[in-house]
Chain A
Amino acid sequence: MKPPPFLYARPESLDGVLRLLAENGGDARVLAGGQSLVPLLNFRLARPEILVDIAMVDELSHLTIEDGGLRIGASVTQRAVETSAEVARLCPLLSKALPLVGHLQNRARGTVVGSIAHADPSAELPAVALVLGATMTVRSASGDRSIPAEDFFLGPFTTALEPDEILVEVRFPGKPSARTAVKEIAPRSGDFAIAGVAGRLTTAADGAVQDVALALFGVGAVPQRLPEVERLAAGENVTPELLDEVARITRATARSGSEDVHADPAYRARVAGELVRRVVEEMAA
């Protein structure tokens, strides 16, 4: 349970990081907080030849507000985002989800951007990025590109990132007026979620649902939006009958595939339906 041998570099500029990634391609891995990567190293599930530590890169340490949204750099810890009053105001869903990410000791080191780049199917932050319509800023030695959250997550632990690219920041549009909620079921507080859902919702003046976005995590291979449920709820008042229908359609449309010692896909779909019911109910209340 110790990491395999690797070479380590800690460049002090983003250009240095990009050059090492360009020269070494798939043999190099970016190290941010290490809360996902170091367990993989300890289990020897990952055997990179080179770790490129981004801790000393000033250009990746920003947590700033721009155009009413958040820009979170790749080395910003989850704890820093969790305890930010500005984040709580602009992106309350992010503030609500972070206490569910691992334990306090993990969040002190782990990064928001690292968790998104890692793309664990049971992770909260990829689903939050999907619900809030976040944009990924990706860079390599040959240039920049932006990837919307809905195109970023391709499979378990698999994203649209190329081996020579780094996710330099994630941009979250500010949605201070939206109602938000996140719920999950896990064997122990801080453990990987068996199933969870993140949501945001706005209401019209008469109290009816105007716009709602919902994303499941822990249920299938990637975080999943629920367009059928979202369309059903739009324009409706949240009644017990609507909530029953919301839960039913979630169960029917969840791409539930994850299976482990805790739960099979059918159970995950059932739990997902119940959690979506509760999240919509809480947001509409």
Chain B
Amino acid sequence: MKPVPDPAGSVAVSMEVNGRTVERTVNSRRLLADLLRDELRLTGTHLGCEHGVCGACTVLVDGQPVRSCLMLAVQADGCEVTTVEGITPKDGLSPMQQAFKDHHGLQCGFCTPGFLMTLAGVEPEDHPDEESVRELLAGNLCRCTGYEGIVDAVMAAWDRSR
């Protein structure tokens, strides 16, 4: 039988973050969002509500959008994590980022990384019309735009007319 580990207050983890291997010993109660922001200085991931409602902290874990405030850093051990820094080109903006800029998809910008990461983790063909795009974005709150500019940006970036 495999040995049963003793419960521990800190755990050695290894994960890929934006293509780079990160090895750290983290406190077991450390949230993934705080590991990213406070230890790796990837401050593009924003923390809003810290209980899974607002979506500002969305990152990709093994390609799927997840809430990094509802995931312990130890749970990401062995995973591939992508943050908004990882989808931003060295120069300029990605097509989706450019579409947000062009269509007033952001004002204060606090929620924007969460929207971008949700969008980065899905296939456009799974969200074929405006209604399904709105449904997809329901897990991210924006208090500035009223969502119209965001929906416009997604429809434009995915080559659709409204």
CB proximity of A39 to chain B, nearest CB, Å: 4
Q: Which residue of B lies closest to A189 (CB)?
A: B138
Residues of B within 8 A of A106 (CB): 52, 67, 70, 139
Q: Which of A35, A43, A79, A103 contacts B64 (CB 8 A)?
A: A79
A5 within 8 A of B: yes
Q: Complex formed: what's the CA distance from A31 to B31 in Å?
A: 14
A284 within 8 A of B: no
List residues 1-48 of chain A with CB under 8 A from any CB of chain B: 1-13, 15-16, 19-20, 24, 31, 34-35, 38-39, 41-43
B58 within 8 A of A: yes
Q: How many residues of B contact A (CB 8 A)?
A: 37
Task: Verify B52–A15 contact, CB threshold 8 A.
Answer: no
Q: Which of B2, B8, B75 contacts A16 (CB 8 A)?
A: B2
Residues of B within 8 A of A188 (CB): 138
Q: Complex formed: what's the CA distance from A9 to B3 in Å?
A: 12
A104 within 8 A of B: yes
Q: Complex formed: what's the CA distance from A209 to B14 in Å?
A: 57
CB proximity of A122 to chain B, nearest CB, Å: 14
Residues of B within 8 A of A160 (CB): none
B43 within 8 A of A: no
List residues 14-57 of chain B with CB under 8 A from any CB of chain A: 27-29, 31, 34, 50-52, 55
Q: Which residue of A lies closest to B122 (CB)?
A: A104
Residues of B within 8 A of A39 (CB): 51-52, 70
A53 within 8 A of B: yes
Task: Verify B135–A189 contact, CB threshold 8 A.
Answer: yes
B11 within 8 A of A: yes
Residues of A within 8 A of B69 (CB): 38, 42
B4 within 8 A of A: yes
A255 within 8 A of B: no
CB proximity of B24 to chain A, nearest CB, Å: 14
Q: Which of B3, B29, B51, B136 contacts A43 (CB 8 A)?
A: B51
B125 within 8 A of A: no
Interface centre among B8, B55, B70 (most CB of A within 10 A): B70
Q: Complex formed: what's the CA distance from A24 to B7 in Å?
A: 11
Residues of A within 8 A of B51 (CB): 1, 39, 42-43
Residues of A within 8 A of B52 (CB): 35, 38-39, 102, 106
A105 within 8 A of B: yes
Residues of A within 8 A of B64 (CB): 79, 108
CB proximity of B128 to chain A, nearest CB, Å: 15
CB proximity of B136 to chain A, nearest CB, Å: 7
CB proximity of A46 to chain B, nearest CB, Å: 12
A7-B5 contact given A2-B34, A188-B138, CB 8 Å threshold: no
Q: Which 6 A-B pairs have the closest CB atoms?
A: A103-B139, A7-B7, A8-B28, A1-B50, A16-B4, A108-B64
Given contacts A34-B75, A108-B65, 16 further A-B contacts (CB under 8 A): A7-B28, A9-B4, A9-B7, A10-B5, A12-B2, A13-B2, A16-B1, A31-B72, A38-B52, A39-B70, A42-B51, A42-B70, A51-B7, A105-B118, A106-B139, A190-B139
Q: Which residues of A contact B (CB under 8 A)?
A: 1-13, 15-16, 19-20, 24, 31, 34-35, 38-39, 41-43, 50-53, 55, 79, 102-106, 108-109, 188-190
